[in-house]
Amino acid sequence: MHVDSSDSLQLHKVVVVGHVDHGKSTLLGRILLECGRVPEDRIAHVQKICSDKSLQFEPAFLFDALQEEQEQGISIDTTRVNFEFEGHKFILIDAPGHLEFLKNMTSGASEADLGILVVDCNQGVRSQTERHLKILNMLGVRRVIVALNKVDQINYDQTIFEEVCAKTREIIEQQEIICEQIVPISALAGENITNATSKLEWYVGKPLLGTLTDVAQKLNNIKKDDQPFRMLLQDVYRFEGDRLFAGRIVSGSIKKGSEIFFSPSGKISRVESIEKYLETDVQSAKSGESIALRLTEQVFVERGEVISLLDNAPEVDTEFRGKLAWLSAHSYSPETEYMLKMGTTEVPCRVEVIDAATQQKQLASAENLINGGFADVIIKTSKPIAFDRAATGAIVEKFVVCTAYDTAAAGVVDNRPVRVERSLKVNPNLRHELGYVERARYEGLNKHRGSVLWMTGLSGSGKSSLAKELEKALFEKNCRVVVLDGDNLRFGLCADLGFTPEDRSENIRRIAHTAKLFLDTGYIVVTACISPYARDRELAREIIGAQDFNELFVFCPLEECQRRDPKGLYSKASAGQISAVTGFDSPYQAPQRPAVRLDSSKMTVAQEVQAVIELLSHHEVLPLEKALTNDLPEVINASGLRSLQAIND
């Protein structure tokens, strides 16, 4: 065995799980022995303990750290082993097998990227093992190696081994976990741990640690460099007028000069420098590092934001579907307001237990959700938060639910959405009529192309004000222009809709189809509606057509929108008189790469109008005109045009 102790070794955290008495601690103690990690005096101490108790030498006692654990013969808390093997550095985390210690086990497993499942050949997979697999799945540990222990007690019988293998694989796959390999071992005798044994001539795989290094290498090849960049904002430090945005990178990497996006606030800036402790002129940083960012333009954000690159931000919402394990001795209560902790975010929440099939509330079964129980839930937060889903490959997906005095549950965001998309099926007896005047002829008559300017932004950001002035400016240029104002449409076309997420989506769908009708007659269509959900704006883009859809993000910091409060919505929401106010207690998913981003807290309406006119000229909707003024900040747009930039706070 070659041991490399250099700092360049790849580090892997591996949680070891399994039913009580299946041999986890014995296996870990044996690994310590095999890797030469146990001092001679420690071995002698354990030998004396075993002799005094008239026991066979037990490697588990090398691992169990507490005298109480040795007296009871069980592992109570999580304990860690560090060792190196064949060019890899490992931290093995021993997780308790007893139901009472699931909370400890959850704490250990949350840091791991691989699991070793220890299964007794005689007993097979037991109920506790299934629970542990569920928790591993929820905490993002989706690959395991099975150590089929005590193979000496079945006389190294291949038939029995294969029968247990088949059942074990089936149960693992039911939990949507990948079973990398099943390795027969005897932890007590030290067989097939680091070296093969002649007693298992029928086994063609590598010993356990050889298998572990192979899987570790596979993880190296698919690991976090390919994941989207995520940095959890820990705090903002101020030094002599500068601000440093400090936190830990949990996936991906960042380079000096990168444009970054803050969620849920939707603010953007650029990395001027990366600060690391005792390092200078840092050009990049990667997953696992704690850093501070100095930005070219200051933004006002607080702890709890998730920092990403501009083109791959996390989701923002006030509710999500999840899977959780209940860890508290106090049973779940649907009436209790809990505290959700995800990353560095802490926000009050409600927990609704649902039926996995129907997605309906299950109050009867919820009453039985106690320590060790599992449930599908909907988490509803008091304000918007940022998170990922496992399918995205990012890891801002794990959460805990707390009371004032206790950690009540731990879980993971489910890939399935809370809301089922409305099915819109066209009646097969309908047909799309053709033969009307073609759009190109209208555009020839109008002397400009048709286009849709889709404004999105918080209430109070200035969408309606901009729409009115833009309509006037285009009208004065002899353009055919129409404004579809969200509030106005709710007096008629959308008067039957409320402000639930489903109704908001339907509102956007109707507006998009209306805009498409005007577009087909060569109009420039200006829509002014909050349209808070990214998926709804994408649907609008599909309905209208990507080539004609220009997303205009009228950005304004929430605090400034609250100060303006033209409709009195924020003050009413603060007083508890109304709810579902976007950006306050209802989510707003800010565009990551709009056609143009206009900061109404820094730009005049005239400057905003000119920015949009230049965008239309750039896309040849209007004849190209010389800019009226040259005092505008630069605006980033999706096509790469940088004639005007709106800097945000």
Contact (Cβ atoms closer than 8 angstroms) between residue 490 and residue 582: no
What are the tokens at 539? 């649907």
Contact (Cβ atoms closer than 8 angstroms) between residue 117 and residue 212: no
Contact (Cβ atoms closer than 8 angstroms) between residue 121 and residue 160: yes
Catalytic residue among 287, 531, 600, 601: 531
Largest CA distance in the chain: 102
Residue 482 to residues 57, 472, 626: CA-CA distances in angstroms?
Answer: 86, 10, 24
- Name the CA dihedral angle for 90, 19, 332, 417, rounded to a multiple of 10 degrees: 60
Reported residue count of the chain is 649
Q: Is 363 exposed, middle or buried, given 0-12, 13-18 or 19+ CB atoms closer than 10 A?
A: exposed
Amino acid at 468: K
Q: Which of 81, 110, 113, 103 is nearest to 94 (CA)?
A: 81
How many Å apart are CA 55 and CA 45, to the nearest integer? 14
Helix (H, G, I), strand (E, B) or coil at 143: strand
Active site residue 531: yes
How many Å apart are CA 35 and CA 157, to the nearest integer? 28
Please, which residues bridge with residue 57 across strands? none
What are the tokens at 344? 């560095």
Angle between helices 605-618 and 463-476 (to 10 degrees): 60
How many Å apart are CA 593 and CA 641, to the nearest integer? 12
Please, which residues bridge with residue 567 across strands? none
- Structural Rg of the chain based on CA atoms: 30
Annotated catalytic residues are: 531
